[in-house]
Amino acid sequence: MKSRIFGTETEYGIVVRDDGSSDPVNNSILVIGSCPVLPATHILWDYENENPLNDARGFEIEGEKERPGPEYNRLLNKLMFNGGRLYVDGAHPEFSTPECLTPREVVAYEKAGERIMELCRETSNRIHRRDNGTLLYKNNTDGKGNSYGYHENYLVERSVPFDRLLTELVPFLATRQIFTGAGKARSENHTDAVDYQISQRADFFEVLVDLNTMVKRPIMNTRDEPHADSSKYRRLHVIVGDSNMSEISTYLKVGTMLLVLAAVEEGELSGISFENPVRAIKEVSRDLTLKKKYRLADGRELTAIDIQRVYLEKAKKVFKHEKEGYSKELLARWESVLNQLEEEPALLSKELDWLIKKELMESYMAKKKCGWDDPRISMMDLQYHDISHEKGLYYAMERDGFVTRLITDEEITRAMDYPPEGTRAYFRGMCLRKFPKEVYAASWTSVLFDTGNAVIKRIPLMDPFKGNKALVEKIFNSSFSVRELLEKLAS
């Protein structure tokens, strides 16, 4: 399997109890500003190479680029030891994982981001004397028609036409929720009423393709900002997924996407096209039996599981000779999950978020003799995603053995402190660990040093595969000052 760089961004819902003003921007700034595990507090985010207005369909949208002044820049952005970014986006605290190479890695860094967020929350409550006043939710909706995102980013070769990605990926994305959905009680955004549905986000997708992420959300987003050489790569910005608490759901969400992207690149195409994908994504979310058939453009009728199996078979064909790497384990789990979903979805009530949450709510309703309309069920729907281990209901289920895990706490702790070793995140993370005082600014594509000289020295990181451990570990080990590091990098 060709190496691919990818990562995720998670926006968190935020509440400050007994807060008269309830300004979410200010509250988010206070939370990330309390982060107790920062390399340094003076470091800026380097906006130089940012351009979120490039459209994958080949044009640039007019609009103002984000360029906050230094003081506000520092309030909004925190660079982390692990090479990730903690920041405030709109009215939410957010964490972007560093650039990863394996799905297991991304699970560890996403959970690491969650733990860092939790440390911020606890510290913020202590500093600002708010007892347990600040609460953070790793979910995607307030249940009143306002959604906040979870985005996946995959580096894709520019030579793959966007139209091919669009055609191939839409049916895959509309049906993968059967294992990636985080579950939701009831419906919103003027969609059909329901007691419980598979996905948090499905109600919000109104068009097929667009650059927008906040209104009229598209199943395929066209933001084309590769944070790399744009003549070689495009960025596939997937905004249609749910934030997951379950490690296995995250693993499958990102992992199956990697397999499907490889199949598309190899020309192993599914040939599937929905008659109406925007309607299908909501219908799939509402069919808890997974038996419903959807009409395709060519007249065939297939279930969501059938459609996933078509993609699975294409991926199997592409990876049949692969012995190393993560594809074997992933293909096996993908297939076994589809088999179990076909036999009886409840078989996965320890593995997948929408089924863990369903089991939790149904057990509660049985015990308390209440129904879906009980406000306590809506509360559970939200509190399942509370990232506090004392209050979060996902963590209550995990603690009592009702959740199967994928990774260990040790992997998560390590991912909080150290960058992935296979990408440029290693270079960024090591600069922040070894020379935090001299790092003036950094971004996905740069590290800037201030060594007290007349000019700030900028190290470009345009190739996300370079700057990995194999290439630069020796240089870091033998450099005892930034000057030495810069000399060795130049020679």
Asked if 383 touches another protein (CB under 8 A), the answer is yes
Asked if 193 touches another protein (CB under 8 A), the answer is no
Asked if 391 touches another protein (CB under 8 A), the answer is yes
463: which DSSP letter? Answer: -
DSSP string, 168-205: HHHHHHHHTHHHH---EES--TT----SEES-SSGGGE
Catalytic choice (89, 142, 195, 450):
89
Shortest spacing between CB 293 and another protein, in angstroms: 31
Specify the DSSP element, H or E, that contains 485.
Answer: helix 482-490
Asked if 239 touches another protein (CB under 8 A), the answer is yes
Which of 106, 260, 393, 425 is close enough to bind another protein by CB under 8 A?
393
Distances (CA, A) of 310 to 172, 227, 260, 269, 291: 9, 32, 10, 9, 16
Site string (204-223) toward another protein, x via CB under 8 A: ---------xxx--------
By C-beta, is 55 or 359 nearer to another protein?
Answer: 359
By C-beta, is 218 or 255 nearer to another protein?
Answer: 218
For 31, the 3-state DSSP assignment is: helix
Shortest spacing between CB 465 and another protein, in angstroms: 28
Asked if 390 touches another protein (CB under 8 A), the answer is yes
Buried b (16+ CB within 10 A) or exposed e, 437-466: ebbbbbbbbbbbbebeeeeebebebbebbe
Question: How many alpha carbons lie under 13 Å from residue 205 in its C-beta half-sphere?
Answer: 30
Give the residue among 4, 7, 5 at the shortest CA–CA distance from 415. 7
Between residue 126 and residue 185, which ones bind another protein under the rule CB under 8 A?
141-144, 146-149, 151
Is 89 a catalytic site residue? yes
Which of 53, 91, 119, 269 is close enough to bind another protein by CB under 8 A?
91
Using CB under 8 A, which of the segments 283-291, 325-333, 394-402, 419-427 binds another protein?
394-402
Shortest spacing between CB 377 and another protein, in angstroms: 9
Tokens 């807060």 belong to 19
Phi, psi of 448 (to 5 degrees): -115, 130
Angle at 351 between CA 346 and CA 357, to 5 degrees: 65
Shortest spacing between CB 130 and another protein, in angstroms: 15
By C-beta, is 148 or 326 nearer to another protein?
Answer: 148
Between residue 331 and residue 360, which ones bind another protein under the rule CB under 8 A?
359
Find out whether 149 and 140 touch, Cβ atoms under 8 Å.
Answer: yes
Asked if 320 touches another protein (CB under 8 A), the answer is no
- Region of 447 please: left (phi>0), alpha (psi -120 to 50) or beta: beta
Using CB under 8 A, which of the segments 337-345, 364-372, 426-434, 444-452 binds another protein?
364-372
Distance between CA atoms of residues 481 and 469, nearest Å: 19
Find out whether 93 and 12 touch, Cβ atoms under 8 Å.
Answer: yes
Shortest spacing between CB 91 and another protein, in angstroms: 4
Q: In the numeric block, which tokens belong to residue 455?
A: 């000019």
Shortest spacing between CB 16 and another protein, in angstroms: 11
Distance between CA atoms of residues 309 and 292, nearest Å: 15
By C-beta, is 14 or 338 nearer to another protein?
Answer: 14
- Using the Cα atoms of residue 215, residue 292, residue 300 and residue 268 in order, give the sign of their dihedral: positive
Asked if 396 touches another protein (CB under 8 A), the answer is yes
Which of 74, 128, 133, 364 is close enough to bind another protein by CB under 8 A?
364
Find out whether 176 and 307 touch, Cβ atoms under 8 Å.
Answer: no
Distance between CA atoms of residues 252 and 189, nearest Å: 27
Site string (8-47) toward another protein, x via CB under 8 A: ---x-xxx--------x-----------------------
Which residues contribute to the site for another protein (CB under 8 A)?
11, 13-15, 24, 89-92, 141-144, 146-149, 151, 213-215, 239, 359, 363-364, 367-368, 375-376, 378-380, 382-383, 390-391, 393, 396-397, 400-402
- Give the residue numbers marked as catalytic: 89
